[in-house]
Structure 1
Amino acid sequence: MAVSLVESGAALQSMRNSDFDAYSAYGEVIDNAVQAEAKNIRVQVTYDPARPQSRREPIRKICFGDDGVGMSAEILERCLQLGYSSRYNDRTGIGRFGVGAILGAINQCQKVEVYSKEAGGEWLYTYVDLEQVFSDPPTMESIPVPVSKAIPEDLKDLVGTDRGTLVIWSKYDRQPDDGSRIVEELKVWVGRTYRHFIWKNVKFFVNGAQVAAIDPLYVKTELTKFSADPKGTEFKEMTLDWPIAREDQVSGGPTTSTIRIRMSLLPAELRPAQGAGNSKAAQERYIDRNNGVSILRNGREVLYDVIPYWNGARFEEIDRWWGCEISFDAILDKAFMVKNIKRGALPMKDLKDALRDKIEPTRKTALERVRELWKQAKGEEHVQTNTETVITGHEAAEKVAKDTPTPKNETSKGKNTDEEIDKFTKEWLADADEASRKKWESKFAGQPFTILDANWRGPEFMEVAHLGGSDVLKYNMRHSFFAELEAIRVSIQGEQGDDNNATRLRLLIDLLLISFAKAQAMFDPKLTMTAEQLLEQLRMNWGNYLSNYISTSKKSEDGTSA
């Protein structure tokens, strides 16, 4: 007997407007693959390049393949029926309600095809096409009985050899973004949402690329894109026993279930100074998106955001530097008000208050530590008052520049060095006391180049102040260049235990930039030349000074006279 798809085509049309976004819709199909014990889950997004008249990259189809246990003919026949599930109300896995996959599919596209094969069986096929359902008169009023049908040749690599399931979405008419953008965002969404399954050796692939895990706590680096990264500091796990709704209790079973709260402070190396959250290193690790909490239901993420209507302190940019993961068993679905499509979680008010009381004290501690490090970095940016001299952290390069004979700067002509240094120091150290400023003035006057680590908003990664022969380079530590450089230096130093090469890398970068400043200082401000002549002269001078500085550095290392 034919299985009815739904009572009314009009009702089905309204269901297309269910509360999905594209990624939560994809997740419903992926959930089924995980529940089917798949070890390899593959998503293939096929899209056309943008045309001149349209910048959109239209999706032609999305295919989901796995090597899970597959479906019998009976289950396959009903798998596209709204409301049916072979695991309805089963809270042991990540599925439960049985409406997510088909609702997610029709929210995004008009045609859904399913192939499935159990071990030792054959590939069976059925489908739903909304164009046929909505035609007048309808040419599809029930789900076709599954028939034996071979997997398309070009999609065989998406499924297992002896078992598995293939789901194909086509007639894609509700595309939210360019195809290429969806592919990249899907890798991020899958890597974070299913991270605990990745760590249990379930492999996920998007357009052939294996997905890396993303840990919002930054305490587990295994199977992430940056396995050599330093790990965050995890605070002591907190637990909260919460009542199970009476209708969900099992006779003689427990009346409460334990909610687990894990919190962390991200590695100091990734947050050296205020503004580091916008660096390239932070963006590559998605720290710039890390503002809120991760709520997991049976190990699968259902929320990654600020908890709706949070009644604690307002979340700010600085909150990206700590992580929080709240895990609960699906038996508490009512307390977390999880939707039947597993998109989002909204803890009940009493639960939200209890979570706030657990989270806020640790959050406060984490933010204090972040601010303390930034305060220390800002202090080092200016002056160390407990020493006889002042320290920049770039003394090695400054000494090389001082020990290398070079001609006088053209920019120095007509400038009074003492006056220029005094003016610069008062502007830069406006809040410092007189003794501190004198120390810096002495340092500036005693060497041709001084390098300062500073922070400011803007695209410039460096500024050069020509002070009549005693020049100052200011590095903008907010710029992604320096964040990336520091991440590489820390990786060399930490992963390989190679202090010498890490130090050498920093020295070479300093000499490279000092050489540029020197080459720039050799231009007479009154000289007129073409842009081509200027660039050619700059390149030649830059290369020559860099060679000279490196030569001095090598002689110093060898113990010979500079």
Structure 2
Amino acid sequence: MNLEQHPYVRPSQVIESMRDNGYKNTAYALAELIDNSIQAGAKVVRFVCFEAYEQINSTSRRRIQKIAILDDGYGMDEKTLYMSLEFGASKNKEDPEGMGKFGMGLPNSSISQCKKTEVWSWIEGNQPFYTYLDVDKIKSGEQEAIPYPVTRKLDSKLADAYKGAIPTSGTVIAWSELDRLHWKTSATLLKHTQNLIGRMYRYMLQHKNENKRVRIVFENYLYNHSTQSYELEESVNFKANDPMYLMQGTVVEEMKDFPDDFKGQSLFDINADENLSKKDITLSDGTKGSYIIRTSSIKKDFANKMTEQTNAKIGSTDVGRQFASNIGLSIIRSGRELDLKRDFKIKDNYQKDRYIGVEIHFSPSLDKFFGVTNNKQSATKIQPPNLPEIALQEDVDESKVIEVIKQSDPDYALLLQCLSDIEKAFEVYSELDKKKISYGRDKKSEAPDNTDLATVRATNAEQQRANEHPTAGDEDKPNPEDMKEVLSEKNYNEIELDQLIKDVIENNIIVKFDERDGPQTMLFDISIIQGFTLIQINTEHNFYRNFMSKATERDQMLLKLCLAAWGRMEKEAPTEAVRRRYELSRQQWGVMLDGYLSDEEDY
């Protein structure tokens, strides 16, 4: 029997599901493109936004129209460029010590943020080759194969972004039809990428070898309708963001309360460095590699200086909040941070662990050993080791568990030893007590009289949850401009909206409840803006009218906390697709609940 051959995968059927590929946010997706530029030998990587005013309802708002990554790397010939948009085919994965992994970074990250990706690349002054990926064309079946590269000049606005000096070789990647950006304006995109990208690439931004040093520049162009052209508004060089605070000239020096005396100095003491902690390992399949664990702790004289100039604890200063944003284990692969694992070891409600630093370095040869994901966002096997539980399962003394495991699974024994080494590294926390660090006076804050008890309780619960299970946005203070943009479509007049924003900002509210008319079948709506969550409870819903409005004050508070827990669940969703499923479930449940309660006039 002759059967028609079928492909393993039909692009038109799977492309939409492939877009939900697990990038934490736009910054992590952009990092894939920056990785490619650096691996291609780029000295300068430009991260460029093209922005214009759009009419949204009755308001004109700025929106990013296009994002581009421009570099001066080696460039690609037409064959290599053709492969670059194929999932799993990039040549970067062939470099055993490079940042590439599965050859999926360019197409994978791009479709997670936009519908159209265009790529130009050129070598030694030749005309650029061009190809593209169009999600809509793939979905419709119009484009089942990658268009073979053709020669094509750079678009004028992209060429202008090189400041009139297009390099001899280079690559430009442009994203348009941006339907999945986490941040819609250049200001918010810069705000949320500045610290993250500065931390990811800190060792490249401040490489000891000047020839290997990389400059990453953010630029924003705003469309001028009068001249019908894009004009440069802002240019910012990314600075290193070092959670070890051993580097000089990092982002922390830009904090308004940073003491001038310490500019250009390291703020922490190194307690364990690569010369003491490097360990070589050989796996059972012959793979060789090594890992390095480094630790640091705050200098006593820097802590003293900070307490001298504040009436509260160091943690309440801008510098202290910057320290808090970098808590955890920094996981470094091939000189680039994969992840900052906030909850590896210390869970301190007062966040004193912000005054220590712990990081592990390893090469790509140990990717499988550490469980590095294909989007290079984490190393799944780097988890706190539960030696007591393993010892119980193996029926041996805890001190002997690694030796026993070594007999049956030597690679796992090596991993357990490494994880134990990391856990021991967190003992640098005791250095804070030895140095007799003073954190300043405790300035107690009480909830203002106009803040309801449910808001206070939910805000406290959210803070506790963020300490134990941190997620993206926890450390971000809500920006009034962003709040106004998101909430302007949430049934507020201008006076109400201004008052709400003022209340949230002035009283450091993280979770707020608001009862107001809404769509009859939706019980509650959730808006998450950076670190703030607004929960609007619909007073027109049958559940509210027949039960919640008649409940005691205490029971109303408990019901609101239930809704706040749902809000946190949506915030912690691992991917955008999961978050949307949570949102749809919330809406459908509201409809169903309204229907179940509609047969009776009064309960």
TM-score for the superposition, normalised by structure 2: 0.56
CA distance in 1, matches of 2:178, 2:342: 31
CA distance in 2, matches of 1:67, 1:104: 21
| C-alpha contact 1:87 1:96 (8 A) present in aligned 2 | yes
Alignment counterpart, residue 190 of structure 2, candidates 183, 196, 205? 183
Amino acid at match of 1:299: G
Amino acid at match of 2:445: R
Amino acid at match of 2:17: S
Could you tell me which residue of structure 2 aligns to residue 202 of structure 1? 214
* Paired positions, count: 366
SS of the residue 1:98 aligns to: coil
Shift of 1:296: 0.4
Alignment counterpart, residue 374 of structure 1, candidates 435, 438, 458? 438
Counterparts in 2 of 1:94-243, with a 5 A limit? 94-135=99-140, 138-159=141-162, 160-179=166-185, 180-200=187-207, 201-207=213-219, 208-222=235-249, 224=251, 226=253, 227-229=263-265, 231-237=267-273, 238-239=276-277, 241=279, 243=281
| C-alpha contact 2:247 2:265 (8 A) present in aligned 1 | no
| C-alpha contact 2:270 2:295 (8 A) present in aligned 1 | yes
Q: Is the aligned partner of 1:457 residue 2:445?
A: yes
Deviation string 1:160-192 (CA, Å, 9 cap, x unpaired) is 421100000011111212322112221222111
Q: Is the aligned partner of 1:282 residue 2:287?
A: no
Could you tell me which residue of structure 2 aligns to residue 431 of structure 1? none
Shift of 1:68: 0.2
Shift of 1:89: 4.5
SS of the residue 1:108 aligns to: coil
Deviation string 1:194-236 (CA, Å, 9 cap, x unpaired) is 0111112210001131111111111111465634355321113
Shift of 1:278: 2.4
Specify whether residues 37 and 364 from structure 1 end up closer, same or farther in structure 2 by C-alpha distance, changes over 3 A only. Answer: same
Alignment counterpart, residue 40 of structure 1, candidates 32, 44, 47? 44
Counterparts in 2 of 1:287-366, with a 5 A limit? 287-307=323-343, 310=344, 312-316=345-349, 317-348=351-382, 349=385, 350-351=416-417, 353-366=419-432
Amino acid at match of 1:292: G
Specify whether residues 313 and 223 from structure 1 end up closer, same or farther in structure 2 by C-alpha distance, changes over 3 A only. Answer: closer
| C-alpha contact 2:247 2:266 (8 A) present in aligned 1 | no
SS of the residue 1:88 aligns to: helix
Deviation string 1:58-109 (CA, Å, 9 cap, x unpaired) is 3311100000000011011121011101133432111121012211100111
SS of the residue 1:218 aligns to: coil
Counterparts in 2 of 1:22-33, with a 5 A limit? 22-33=26-37
| C-alpha contact 1:5 1:142 (8 A) present in aligned 2 | no
More displaced 10-residue stretch of structure 1: 230-239 or 144-153: 230-239
Amino acid at match of 2:318: K
| C-alpha contact 1:118 1:164 (8 A) present in aligned 2 | yes
Shift of 1:291: 1.4
| C-alpha contact 2:242 2:250 (8 A) present in aligned 1 | no
Amino acid at match of 1:336: F
Specify whether residues 152 and 459 from structure 1 end up closer, same or farther in structure 2 by C-alpha distance, changes over 3 A only. Answer: farther
Shift of 1:332: 1.2
TM-score for the superposition, normalised by structure 1: 0.60
CA distance in 2, matches of 1:65, 1:192: 20
Deviation string 1:255-311 (CA, Å, 9 cap, x unpaired) is 4x321111111244357456212212434xx2131211211001000011325xx3x
CA distance in 2, matches of 1:58, 1:303: 29
| C-alpha contact 1:239 1:258 (8 A) present in aligned 2 | no
Counterparts in 2 of 1:426-445, with a 5 A limit? none
| C-alpha contact 1:66 1:158 (8 A) present in aligned 2 | no
CA distance in 1, matches of 2:205, 2:79: 31
| C-alpha contact 1:6 1:81 (8 A) present in aligned 2 | no
Deviation string 1:141-169 (CA, Å, 9 cap, x unpaired) is 21111111111122125454211000000
Amino acid at match of 1:163: S
CA distance in 1, matches of 2:191, 2:97: 31
Specify whether residues 119 and 351 from structure 1 end up closer, same or farther in structure 2 by C-alpha distance, changes over 3 A only. Answer: farther
CA distance in 2, matches of 1:218, 1:360: 16
SS of the residue 2:98 aligns to: coil
| C-alpha contact 1:290 1:321 (8 A) present in aligned 2 | no
- Greater radius of gyration (CA): 1
| C-alpha contact 2:293 2:422 (8 A) present in aligned 1 | no
SS of the residue 1:142 aligns to: coil
| C-alpha contact 1:66 1:166 (8 A) present in aligned 2 | yes
CA distance in 2, matches of 1:206, 1:6: 38
Q: What is the CA RMSD across the aligned residues, in angstroms? A: 2.8
Alignment counterpart, residue 91 of structure 1, candidates 78, 83, 96? 96
Q: Is the aligned partner of 1:261 residue 2:293?
A: yes
| C-alpha contact 1:115 1:124 (8 A) present in aligned 2 | yes
Specify whether residues 459 and 45 from structure 1 end up closer, same or farther in structure 2 by C-alpha distance, changes over 3 A only. Answer: farther
